[in-house]
Amino acid sequence: MSFPTQRPRRLRRSEALRDLVRETRLTAAGLIYPMFVCPGMNVRKEVSSMPGVHQQSADQIVEECREVESLGLPGVILFGLPESKDARGTISTSADGVVQRAIEAIRKAKLELLVITDVCLCEYTDHGHCGVIENGNVANDQTLPILAAQALSHARAGADIVAPSDMMDGRVAAIRETLDQHKFNDIAILAYAAKYCSGFYGPFREAADSAPQFGDRRSYQMDPANAREALKEVALDLEEGADMVMVKPALPYLDILRRVRDAFEVPVGAYNVSGEYAMVKAAAQKGWLDEKRVVLEILTGIQRAGANFILTYHAKDAARWLKA
């Protein structure tokens, strides 16, 4: 049976009809807001390539978290800009590191927010790589104990979920083991399982001051050309004890999201990264795109492709638009 009996336009005639048959419903409940913590008090500095996103001290983070909570968003993910850096990112494991103190401040404010932390070394190493360097290479196994210690310090400070983004092999197992040894059996791991080596992280590296000082991340982050390998990465992270997995970036990898969603029975997140945000902001500022419309379309598309939740710098705006 086809035309003229079949007329798909019948179900598009009014907003009530379109709403009735809508397959994907975007809500604020599935959006996580990324934030950048820096040292000090009363610091709030906008990231030039990410309008609306700030590097802020813990007190200011708490203020923005109040807003995040009032918008109905479920949580935040924290990144740190430490006071100092060294070759091993040692300060990232310190109980009074920037992220650890920000978590405590959020907890003290008694906000109903999930606190997720990014676990990685690149923000804390003077060379900007996600692991320690030996003989000019990023050394996998030597990095694992530092990542585990960092995750433990986040858990001690009160994080709900730790999210390793370093792409070292075996890091989920190392983190799970350390958390369990210290009775943090209930702290969940959200693995950046399929994290690609992407040009779309550019603005983030300004925000987090984490650009590699030599070379690139191709020896640990995934090759953008590979899809089957993403399924392998996800399978390994789940075997090692990940509770949830993530695909990152989002827009150029919607096929990966769909394949991961279909192949595994765990919650799947997508990271709508800094470069994806910056492109929309820049075009909107020039008047070339309708920001509200494209942001809601992008987030709907990422959800339709298979994401159960989305990490996005658009979270606060989207929550406002979805309410209105």
Residues of this chain that bind ligand PBG (CB under 6 A):
118, 120, 122, 130, 165, 201, 204-205, 273-274
> CA gyration radius for the chain?
20
- In the bound complex, what is the minimum distance in angstroms from residue 301's beta carbon to ligand PBG? 18
CA distance 311 to 182: 28
Neighbour count for residue 286 (Cβ, 10 Å): 8
Output the smallest distance, CB 130 to ligand PBG, in A.
5
Nearer to ligand PBG, 122 or 191 (CB): 122
Question: What HEC string does 64-83 produce?
Answer: HHHHHHHCCCCEEEEEECCC
Cβ proximity to ligand PBG: between 109 and 170 the closer is 170
In the residue annotation, 45 being an active-site residue is answered as no
Angle 172-113-244 (CA atoms, 0-180°, nearest 5)? Answer: 25
CB 105 within 8 A of CB 61: yes
Which residue lies nearer to ligand PBG by CB, 126 or 262? Answer: 126
Q: Which of 45, 110, 195, 232 is catalytic?
A: 195
Q: How far apart are CA 77 and CA 151, in angstroms?
A: 13
Contact 174, 140 (CB under 8 A): no
The rounded distance, in Å, linking the Cα atoms of 68 and 88 is: 33
Neighbouring C-beta atoms of residue 9, cutoff 10 Å: 7
CB of 7 to ligand PBG, least distance (A): 43
Q: C-beta of 18: minimal distance to ligand PBG in Å?
A: 32
Q: Which residue is nearest to ligand PBG (CB)?
A: 204
Distances (CA, A) of 114 to 30, 86, 161, 270: 12, 30, 8, 17
Q: How far is the CB of 122 from ligand PBG (least distance, A)?
A: 5
What sections of the chain are H helices per DSSP?
Answer: 15-20, 58-70, 98-108, 140-157, 171-181, 202-207, 228-239, 254-263, 274-285, 291-305, 315-323
Nearer to ligand PBG by C-beta: 203 or 306? 203
**283-292 contacts: CB < 8 A, separation 24 or more?**
285/51, 291/317, 292/317, 292/321
Q: Which residue among 110, 183, 248, 292 is the active-site one? A: 248
Say whether 281 is catalytic: no
- Report in angstroms how near the CB of residue 285 gets to ligand PBG at its nearest: 19
How near is the Cβ of 183 to ligand PBG at its closest, in Å? 27
Pairing mode of beta strands 188-195, 268-272: unpaired
**Which of 49, 50, 53 lies closest to 64 in space, CA to CA?**
53
Q: Which residue has the tokens 């409940």?
A: 29
Give the residue with the Cβ less far from ligand PBG, 184 or 201. Answer: 201
- Pick 49 or 60: Cβ nearer ligand PBG: 49
| Closer Cβ to ligand PBG, 122 or 234, answer by number | 122
Catalytic residues: 195, 248
